[in-house]
Structure 1
Amino acid sequence: MLNTPLIVKRAVFNYITINQDDHSKNFAFLADDNDNWRLSPFYDIVYSPSPYKEHMTSFNGNGRLPTAKALELMAGHAGYANVTPLINMIEEIYHETRSFKQEALNLGISNALISTIDSHISQQYRQFNN
């Protein structure tokens, strides 16, 4: 059985971190010799803002900002009774991004780019919470 909640978490991660190049080729599945399928490891996850400010993979047809209805549908498709698990995912992902600045500095990324990315991540998070 596929891990649907994990797919939803990846979609939320892509939204929060502005990976707008989240097209269908960036989601893959692996099968073992017994034809048991599982989600592949997460890949091609980078800060990638689109010039159109929209995700390639939309949230119920909306590539800019998931509506409350879109979140409800995602939660339902993932087997959740309500959006609370999605809200928890959003909180968890945003909390984890708070270490981004230091990690980016350690990698030698410019302060200007770090500030831009961190500002965009915080803006995405605030949009989810409004």
Structure 2
Amino acid sequence: MVSDGASRYLAKFNRRTGDEYNYARVELACLDMAQAAGLEVARGRVLEDVNSRDVLLLERFDVELDDHRRHLVSVNALLKETGTQRDSGLPFRYDDISDLLIRHSGAVRTDLEQLARLALFNRAINNTDDHSRNFSLIHDGDYYRLSPAYDLVPSMTVGEYHAASFGYQPNPPRPSQVARVGRMFGLSKPLLRSCADEVFAAVERWREFAERAGVMDAEVDRIGSRFHP
């Protein structure tokens, strides 16, 4: 954790070699795009040329200015077997997160809407690394809520299944496919359609967010070709 005096940050360094793209800048672009899609996200900024690498600084949403920590628990931890704390061994689904929110969230409807947007957004940007450690609940002082979204990065692999399935499908739906889904996490069809439209509109602006974050033109096109809006 690093600090600039006013905020606390998690620093994510690009590797010197071997990265598929400039992860720091691409993740920043995706976070800004997710915010435009109506998602609450971790806020960030890029530091240039730190030991010849770009660094993404993500504001720690679980740490207050006085260094008091808000309790943060991953979905992975909440899904472990109660007696043994072992993984259940069952396939992970977005439906599991929905069930946890219904049981534990102090703002169920709002959090379920955020979850729907997040599932649609992850599918739209081909973020297949949507495993159970990449979702958390956070205590806001009164009750638990779905935490701001984080680790939103596209996969460059074609045809890869998502780590989190939805219903009886191996992947969450694309924003353009919600009309076929019917209900999602109990949300009404008009609300779900509105969420999907906002996600679709934000992802269509990928080039704008990427250029603002300093992503190279060649990477903008290559990454955008993997999207599924």
Q: If the length of structure 1 is used for normalisation, what is the TM-score?
A: 0.73
- Cα separation, 2, equivalents of 1:39 and 1:118: 28
Letter in 1 for 2:164: T
Match of 2:136 among 28, 48, 54: 28
Q: Does 1:18 align with 2:126?
A: yes
Q: Percent of pairs identical after alignment?
A: 26
After superposition, the Cα gap between the structure-2 partners of 1:119 and 1:52, relative to the gap in structure 1 and judged at 3 Å, is: closer
Q: Alpha-carbon deviation of 1:93?
A: 1.0
Match of 1:89 among 162, 182, 195: 195
- Cα separation, 1, equivalents of 2:122 and 2:164: 9
Question: Which residue of structure 2 lines up, in the alignment, with residue 128 of structure 1?
Answer: none
Q: Does 1:39 align with 2:134?
A: no
Q: Kindly provide the CA deviation profile for residues 102-130 of structure 1, in whole angstroms up to 9, marking residues without a partner as x.
A: 33223332222211222332xx12xxxxx
Question: Which residue of structure 2 lines up, in the alignment, with residue 72 of structure 1?
Answer: 182
Q: Is the partner of 1:109 in helix, strand or coil? A: coil
After superposition, the Cα gap between the structure-2 partners of 1:11 and 1:65, relative to the gap in structure 1 and judged at 3 Å, is: closer
Q: Alpha-carbon deviation of 1:92?
A: 0.9
Q: Kindly provide the CA deviation profile for residues 63-97 of structure 1, in whole angstroms up to 9, marking residues without a partner as x.
A: 346377982242xx2342x3x33232222112112
After superposition, the Cα gap between the structure-2 partners of 1:69 and 1:105, relative to the gap in structure 1 and judged at 3 Å, is: closer
Q: Alpha-carbon deviation of 1:37?
A: 1.1
Q: Is the partner of 1:120 in helix, strand or coil? A: coil
Match of 2:219 among 90, 97, 113: 113
Aligned residues: 118
Q: Which has the higher helix share?
A: 1
Q: Is the partner of 1:56 in helix, strand or coil? A: coil
Letter in 1 for 2:163: M
Q: Alpha-carbon deviation of 1:13?
A: 0.9
- Structure 1, unpaired ranges of 5+: 126-130
RMSD: 2.6
Structure 1 consecutive aligned stretches of length 4 or more whose deviation exceeds 4 Å: 49-52, 67-70
- Cα separation, 1, equivalents of 2:200 and 2:194: 10
Q: If the length of structure 2 is used for normalisation, what is the TM-score?
A: 0.44
- Cα separation, 1, equivalents of 2:179 and 2:195: 17
- Cα separation, 2, equivalents of 1:63 and 1:71: 13
Q: Which has the higher strand share?
A: 2
Question: Which residue of structure 2 lines up, in the alignment, with residue 4 of structure 1?
Answer: 112
After superposition, the Cα gap between the structure-2 partners of 1:28 and 1:50, relative to the gap in structure 1 and judged at 3 Å, is: farther
Question: Which residue of structure 2 lines up, in the alignment, with residue 63 of structure 1?
Answer: 170
- Structure 2, unpaired ranges of 5+: 1-105
